[in-house]
Amino acid sequence: MKKLIALSCLFSGIFISAQSQESYILAENSASSSTSISTKKVTYDDHLMAAESFNVPIVKSFDDIEGLVATKKLVAIPEEGNGYTIEKLTHSKAFLNNRAKTVLERIASKFLDENNATITVTSLTRSEESQASLRRVNSNAAKGESSHNYGASFDLSYTKFNNKYSYSKTHRDNLEAILKQLQDDGKIYYIKEYRQHCFHVTVRNPDQFKSTTM
């Protein structure tokens, strides 16, 4: 009788152990399969490749912009729009490709609707010349080519809302939540730049990935 009880306990232990191992494997596989862009470290190289995918020629000097506008590669961005203001620009011009313009407008509109506040754009399209000039005063600026040189990137301040400096953790977190959702959806890449107090945003080319409508 004691032997039967012992054998029963032994088999029960083996069965429970097998179940536990199976549960662990399923959990591990589930965690692996749910990996998204947000769990992957996004790099400036990712931004650059995304910007280059639009086949917009690199802006070597600001003189190039007129030709890119004429061929509809870039479009002018108004200084003020629904939910955003562009601050005075020193090293960039208010032009973007069509996709980037649309995404900027939708980010700004969504933020305004949810927060009753506007965001501030601090940088848009740069030339190679202005990028080199910026690097002399801002070591955080990319060396060599930047996604800003292709009209696919813009920077959004997280310390300036309603066109004035007004640090708000709520506004900062809400803006980042919008960007994170767009990144998870494959619409953009973004990097939080601590030195410049901004989110560096690059729009992804919908022709390069399978995506749902924004």
Tell me the CATH number at 111. Answer: 3.30.1380
Do the domain assignments include residue 19? yes
Are 30 and 100 within one domain? no
Are 30 and 61 within one domain? no
Are 59 and 30 within one domain? no
Range of the domain at 169: 37-208
Q: Indicate the pTM of the whole model.
A: 0.77
Across-strand partners of 93? 125
Are 4 and 51 within one domain? no
Are 101 and 200 within one domain? yes
Cβ neighbours of residue 171 closer than 8 Å, sequence gap 6 or more: 115, 117, 158, 161
Q: What is the pLDDT of residue 145?
A: 81
Q: What is the pLDDT of residue 120?
A: 98
Do the domain assignments include residue 214? no
- Tell me which residue has tokens 């501030």: 120
Are 62 and 134 within one domain? yes
Q: What is the pLDDT of residue 15?
A: 41
Residue 4: its H or E element:
helix 2-33
Q: What is the pLDDT of residue 38?
A: 54
Are 51 and 110 within one domain? yes
Are 14 and 59 within one domain? no
Alpha-carbon distance of 121 to 158, in angstroms, equals 10
| Per-10-residue mean pLDDT, the chain, length 214 | 47 44 32 46 95 96 97 98 97 97 99 98 92 57 75 98 93 98 97 95 87 45
Residue 53: its H or E element:
none
Are 69 and 149 within one domain? yes
Q: What is the pLDDT of residue 159?
A: 98
How many structural domains compose the chain? 2
